[in-house]
Structure 1
Amino acid sequence: MSQLVRARLGGCTFEHGLYRVHTHASAEAACAVHGGGFSRVRGKVRLFGFDWLGRQFASDNKRGAGDDPEVMMLEPGTGEALEIPVPVSAFHDDEVVEYSDEALASNFYAEWMAVHESALRLDQCAGYRVPLFLGGDDLVANLELSDLSVY
């Protein structure tokens, strides 16, 4: 399913950078970058998208139906890999549409966009100056424009 998503939507950006779908090349690059920080899931997931906070969304091949696995979110701001109990197809069709704040922190994004007027490029995210796992605050004031591969 993640390959189908990538084939049909790869490189697309939604809501001025709120959510982006990986191309094959950007997924491979992100996998190489995030592999070290999320070693417990290396080889078990396939990246398909990412959000404005640089959180990577992946299909978790160990969970869900064979051709429609469930979603995992890799969160660089906290260093956590979180299971989302929704198949990839429902993530795009329902979760992102109906629960955009829960899935993508869309209200927080609106706060960020009120201060930063331009859309995020495919290679950018809003990264925490001081990561949450190091005691940083979950506030717009603690966010800065970051290169996605560096963050």
Structure 2
Amino acid sequence: MNWSFERLSHGLWQPDLVGGYFADRGLCGASGNSGLLRFHDDHTGTVAQEFVDMAFGPRGVRAEVFAFDWRATQFAISRNIDIDGNLVDDGRPGTIVTLDPFDMSVSPWGLAVDTFEAALSLPIVEQSLRPDLFDDWRNAKDVDRLTLTQCAGATVPAFYGGQASIDNFALNDVEVYLSFVAQVWAFGQQHPGEPAPHLRTQR
């Protein structure tokens, strides 16, 4: 997959586990392929980190975000998730994980942060990003490109039975969407088996 990046913001995002790696390369606030993948700036990084801490933290996940895709899946660095997805003690070298608000899954890559750009050319990464679905969704919803504050948010998350389909993804504000997912997920943990309030289901 070929990549083309444009800078949408000059705000820097340098969490401890990532450091200045992407900032030094001028990638903070950059968007690739019309918003398929974007690197956090100081605003989006703060919003996403709060979501990760709130939604994944209670499960023992400690991770610091650096990028996100069109569906607001977070790319992060963690020291307490091994290659099999198990929680381990801190102290190991930080490696890349993805944190998906759609199904609340944690997927380890087992790669260091300085391999991320090279990994973007791997077929497995393309399968994860689903550029064909992104293009089909943009065409169906008449969306030219995503800004740093926009995403394709699921009306019904997968953990409530939603499907990864064009009809289930709507143009949304990232902060609003992540807040929605965090609240719906928290409700489901407190009231297992009960439908979430104000959740529109697909027919």
* CA distance in 2 between partners of 1:132 and 1:87 (Å): 29
Against the structure 1 CA distance between its residues 25 and 6, is the aligned structure 2 distance closer, same or farther, given a 3 Å change threshold? farther
Q: How high is the TM-score relative to the length of structure 2? A: 0.65
Matched, 1:77 2:95: no
Tell me if the contact between 2:65 and 2:74 (Cα under 8 Å) persists in the aligned partners: yes
CA RMSD of aligned residues (A): 2.0
Runs of 4+ in 1 over 4 A off after TM superposition: none
Q: Considering only CA atoms, is the larger Rg found in Structure 1 or Structure 2? A: 2
Match for residue 98 of structure 1?
122
Pick one of 62, 77, 95 that aligns with 1:59.
77
Structure 2: segments with no counterpart, 5+ residues: 1-16, 84-91, 178-203
Against the structure 1 CA distance between its residues 6 and 80, is the aligned structure 2 distance closer, same or farther, given a 3 Å change threshold? farther
Query: Aligned ranges for residues 21-32 of structure 1 at < 5 Å?
Result: 21-32=39-50
Q: Could you tell which deviates more after superposition, 113-122 or 140-149?
A: 113-122
Tell me if the contact between 1:101 and 1:107 (Cα under 8 Å) persists in the aligned partners: no
| More contact order relative to length (CA 8 Å, sep ≥ 6) | 1
Tell me if the contact between 2:44 and 2:148 (Cα under 8 Å) persists in the aligned partners: no
Q: How high is the TM-score relative to the length of structure 1? A: 0.86
Tell me how many residue pairs correspond in the alignment. Answer: 147
Pick one of 143, 156, 172 that aligns with 1:130.
156
Match for residue 13 of structure 2?
none
Match for residue 45 of structure 1?
63
Provide, for residues 71-124 of structure 1, a one-character-per-residue CA deviation record: whole Å limited to 9, x for no partner.
Answer: 111110001222122222222212x22334223121211211222331011001
Tell me if the contact between 1:71 and 1:84 (Cα under 8 Å) persists in the aligned partners: yes
Pick one of 164, 168, 171 that aligns with 1:145.
171
Pick one of 17, 22, 38 that aligns with 1:5.
22
Against the structure 1 CA distance between its residues 30 and 55, is the aligned structure 2 distance closer, same or farther, given a 3 Å change threshold? same
* CA distance in 1 between partners of 2:96 and 2:133 (Å): 22
* CA distance in 2 between partners of 1:27 and 1:79 (Å): 18
Structure 1: segments with no counterpart, 5+ residues: none
Q: Could you tell which deviates more after superposition, 104-113 or 46-55?
A: 104-113
User: Identity of aligned pairs, percent?
Assistant: 27
Against the structure 1 CA distance between its residues 41 and 57, is the aligned structure 2 distance closer, same or farther, given a 3 Å change threshold? farther
